[in-house]
Structure 1
Amino acid sequence: MIRTQIVALVAFVAFASVAGADQPPNIVLILSDDQSWTDYGFMGHDAIQTPNLDKLARDSARFRRGYVPTALCRPSLMTLITGLYSHQNLVTGNDPAATDANRAHATKAGESARELLISNIDKHPTVPRMLAEKGYLSFQSGKWWEGSFQRGGFTHGMTRGYPEKGGRHGDDGLKIGREGMQPVNDFIDTAVDMKKPFFLWYAPFLPHTPHNPPERILKKYQQEGRTESVAKYYAMCEWFDETCGQLLGRLDAKGIADKTLVVYVTDNGWVQDPNSKGYAARSKRSPYEAGTRTPIMFRWPAQIHPADRPELCSSIDIVPTMLAAAGADIPANLPGLNLLPNLKSETPIARDTIFGESFAHDIADIENPEASLLYRWVIEDQTKLLLTYDGAPGKMKFPPSGGEPQLFDLKNDPHEKVNLAAQQPQVVKELRGRLIDWYPVTQRKQDTVASAEKANEKTRRAK
């Protein structure tokens, strides 16, 4: 009798283990808003304290050389919801510019240019829609530009969206983190009670301006020789980290941390201008490291081995990786890699090259990405090439290069101070070919660059 009970118990445990293995994980996507890749304890910052993200890093497969293809919030987030580059999903900037092209598109469609830009979210599968087919509930909180949360396919959320008041980039959603975590906590409780897997989009308006951290945190960073603007930014980074700790703690409290894939990335970089409330040159919106680089982390206990990953990683890889974890179909047109097999087996990623692009903040032509194109860039191993184009720049925070290629050795020059293009023309040629294969642009644009290169070569010879 006892032996029969033991056999039955073993069979039940084995069944439960198999059944549990068949359950897709919850997925939590944490998005920092305007934070440099250097500004974490685990990335070596000597002042900013991020204990919760430091712990997440220790428990994760962490890519210190992670990148976003476009270093501006709206296009960066659109990539994370569709898995497509900006030139593919047509959301290349934050707002449509008041141009003749956009007015013509709006008149023809009988809609505002802003609505036409938002309508791109209707043309592509989104992560929440694809996960819904696997039974997932989903929740939007924080930054969100593409209308209401429902329009993105979320089952639950906070943002009412355009044309509602404040609907440009999040309205009510922007309260999360800054005014507590209750909406997120309530959603997690609901999903757990319903025994449903869930997808959580946590994109708080942090450490984004306004830099108004709690006084208790700000006091830690105020010191002689450090400007108030820098102290406030540092404090905002810690405040963001604190909210991440509250979110991760909620997963622990509900007993679901081991059943949850946590993904971390920031939308774009930020270098605080020490003498103003804004950002320094060559950071946000730029194709330079301080604009595009970010740590990317994946934590899934007992599934993904915590480790420092030396390979390049792009946020374009996040959507296919999340879909794979959920057992969902991955659309064939997604350009990113499903990294899950590599993260589980600790095998190297069979890729040494990633790509990116920069566009003007305001979109010159909502149907033609190239009209706003400023840069294409490629990184192969430790070598980075930037090509410059004549998209309407507006008030750029970084100096245009006049079309001259910029080539950098990131291993020895991580802050991109020395342009090696003139010394290594063959490398420039080879990497330009990679860019053309990835995202070809019109002959007019290519001629702009070629003409500038010829002029620069004549100048160098004259010297």
Structure 2
Amino acid sequence: MIKKISLGILAVSILVSCGKGTKKETESVSNKKQTPPNIVFILSDDQSWTDYSFMGDENIETPRIDKFASESLTFTQSYVPTPLCSPSLATIITGLYPKDHGILGNDKVYDRGNIRGKARAEAYKPVISAFEKQTTLPDMLKEKGYLSFQTGKWWHGNHKIGGFDYGMTHGDPTRGGRHGDYGLEIGRKGLDTINSYVDLALKEKKPFFLWYAPFLPHRPHNPPQHLFEKYKKKTDSEHLAKYWAMCEWFDETCGQLFDLIENKGLTENTLFVYVCDNGWAQNPDKSGYLKHSKRAPYNMGIRTPIMYKWKGKITPKMDDKTITSSIDMVPTVLDVLGIEKPENLPGVSVLDEKALAERKGIFGEVYAHDFDTIENSMFYNMAIFPPYKIIVPDSVRKKGEVVQLFNIEEDPFEKNNLADQNPEVVERLKNRIKEFRSK
């Protein structure tokens, strides 16, 4: 598939930028003549896999996401391949691992001096140019007549770079463009722009793809006062209270989105997919994260529930055994729509039970926040082949660190390194990583 030029720009609202044969768990795949479903990707931003009521958290309340999980094919043992926003989002929109889509970190190496914004923009230009050549999900959906809308986080220049027809992110560094600009207002300041986008699709009688990636529960942790007061009663830590409140605020906006789709009579023909871009463990003593979460190769950095809901078409199920990844999101959508999966995509459709069963493992990568080449930026490689997960530190940039091996089925919080007791497993998984890197 060849990446196509995006359609023209429409000022939908003042926030819209003027800038780009297997057993199935769904009945839908066999019926290609029906109206294609609308597709909504919901992306949490900086939230641990544990930080939901339905995942067992005793403090955070997430009633709308809990209900959504109960109505979905929900995989609780799922992962993103890297614990950092920009490369994780690039994987979600392309279906590729970071080593293949080229977005390794949040920023290209640049001089962090007095002209930081300009220097960052200049350094990032070739990254955006290279990413523009990638085929994204919005590009693939064009053959089915979809309109694609971007809201929230977006790192790769103008929304058109991702193949979106309309979007909130202009990506102009001279106007504050870096990781979403106007898009970061979605959710925090309501859903008016999404409402306008959906109305546009209805007017043009076209199915739509919506990217809802709000700046939530991401810092700044400045929740509505009523939520902050609620969680202050649960902890002596102001920082924990604010973070917990942010998680519920995000949950509230998800509810608003579900209601918007429902009120327009679209729920029954909409495929919703939920994922978090990377983990977050709130430091109770200050406004920041603990080192084993964001940017770290541990489960608190890369594990997330991933959920698929299509009312009446996908059978709800809570799956706590099957390993899936965000690399599977694009192939699953393509499967639903009857679009042939490009050969370069490593993921599988989660609706294809045989393919899931045949896949033995998935991989992960951690690079420097400010990246250069793969060789100069590598921090860690990971391989998850149940029940084991291996973390292999780079011999140069993480010199002195040891290989870690965990039985994540028995030890999901990775407390007990089993590498010394299982040299044969370590060698086998290191070889798996070598094969992965060579592809």
For the criterion TM > 0.5, the same-fold answer is yes
The residue identity in structure 2 corresponding to 1:377 is M
The amino acid across from 2:389 in the alignment is K
1:48 to 48, 51, 60: 60
Which residues in structure 2 correspond to 1:306-345 (within 5 Å)? 306-309=316-319, 310-342=321-353
Judged with a 3 Å threshold, the aligned counterparts in structure 2 of structure 1 residues 238 and 224 are, in CA distance, closer, same or farther, namely closer
Partner of residue 176 from structure 1, selected from 186, 210, 226: 186
Is it true that 1:379 corresponds to 2:390 in the alignment?
no
In 2, the alpha carbon distance for the partners of 1:151 and 1:97 equals 21
2:67 equivalent to 1:69: no
Deviates more, 1:18-27 or 1:425-434: 18-27
Change in 2 beyond 3 A, CA 1:341/1:274: same
SS of 2:345's equivalent in the other structure is coil
Residue 379 of structure 1 aligns with an amino acid whose one-letter code is: I
1:237 aligns with 2:235: no
Tell me the secondary structure at the aligned position of residue 270 of structure 1. coil
Matched residue, 2:413: 415
Unaligned runs of 5+ in 1: 1-17, 100-106, 393-399, 442-463
Structure-2 separation of matches of 1:143 and 1:375: 25
Letter of the aligned partner of 2:50 in structure 1?
T
Residues in 2 aligned to 1:60 and 1:225: alpha-carbon distance in whole angstroms: 32
Q: Map residues 302-451 of structure 1 onto 2, 5 A cutoff.
A: 302-309=312-319, 310-342=321-353, 349-363=357-371, 365=372, 368-390=373-395, 392=397, 402-440=400-438
Matched ranges for 1:269-288 at <5 A: 269-288=279-298
Cα shift at 1:341: 3.1
Task: Report if the CA contact (8 A) 2:235-2:241 is conserved.
Answer: no
- Over 3 Å counting, the alpha-carbon distance change for 1:404 and 1:19 in structure 2 is closer
TM-score by length of 1: 0.83
Are 1:66 and 1:293, in contact at CA under 8 Å, matched by a contact in 2? yes
Contact preservation (8 Å) 2:84, 2:294: yes
Match of 1:59?
71
Give the drift of 1:226. Answer: 2.8
* Contact kept in structure 2, 1:52 and 1:242, CA below 8 Å: yes
Unpaired segments ≥5 residues, structure 2? 1-29, 112-118
Q: For 2:330 and 2:390, how far apart are their aligned partners in 1?
A: 26
- CA distance in 1 between counterparts of 2:244 and 2:170 reads 31
Q: What number of residue pairs does the alignment pair up?
A: 402
How much is the aligned-residue C-alpha RMSD, in angstroms?
A: 2.1
- Output one character per residue of 1:50-90: Cα deviation in whole Å (capped at 9) or x when no partner: 01100110000000001000110000000111111111111
Segments ≥4 residues shifted beyond 6 Å: none
Give the conservation status (yes or no) of the 8 Å contact 1:372–1:391.
no
- Call closer, same or farther: CA 1:279–1:56 in 2, change over 3 Å: same
SS at match of 1:276: coil
1:362 maps to amino acid: D
Percent of residue pairs bearing the same amino acid type: 50
- Once the two structures are overlaid, the 10-residue window that deviates more, 376-385 or 232-241, is 376-385
Q: Does the Cα contact within 8 Å between 2:59 and 2:234 map onto a contact in 1?
A: no
SS in 2 for 1:297: strand
Deviation for aligned residue 1:412:
2.0
Contact 1:148 1:161 in 2 (8 A): yes
Equivalent residue number for residue 147 of structure 2: 137
Shift of 1:27: 0.4
* Distance across 2 between alignment mates of 1:389 and 1:362: 16
Q: Equivalent residue of 1:349, what SS? A: helix
Q: Which residue of 2 aligns with 1:113?
A: 123
Describe the SS at the equivalent of 1:272.
coil
- Matches of 1:164 and 1:192, distance apart in 2: 35
Residue 112 (structure 1) shift: 2.5
> Distance between the aligned counterparts of 1:359 and 1:136, measured in 2?
34
The structure showing larger relative contact order (alpha-carbon pairs under 8 Å, at least 6 residues apart) is: 2
> Is the counterpart of residue 300 in structure 1 residue 298 in structure 2?
no
Measured after TM superposition, the shift of residue 126 of structure 1 is 0.9
- Alpha-carbon spacing, 1:48–1:21, altered in 2? closer, same or farther (3 Å): farther
Cα displacement (A) at 1:20: 8.9
Residue 228 of structure 2 aligns with which residue? 218
* Alpha-carbon shift at residue 223 of structure 1 (Å): 2.4
The question of whether the paired residues in 1 share the 8 Å contact of 2:152 and 2:183 is answered with: yes
Q: Deviations over 1:388-420 (max 9, x none)?
A: 00565xxxxxxx572421011112221111111
Report deviation, 1:117: 1.2
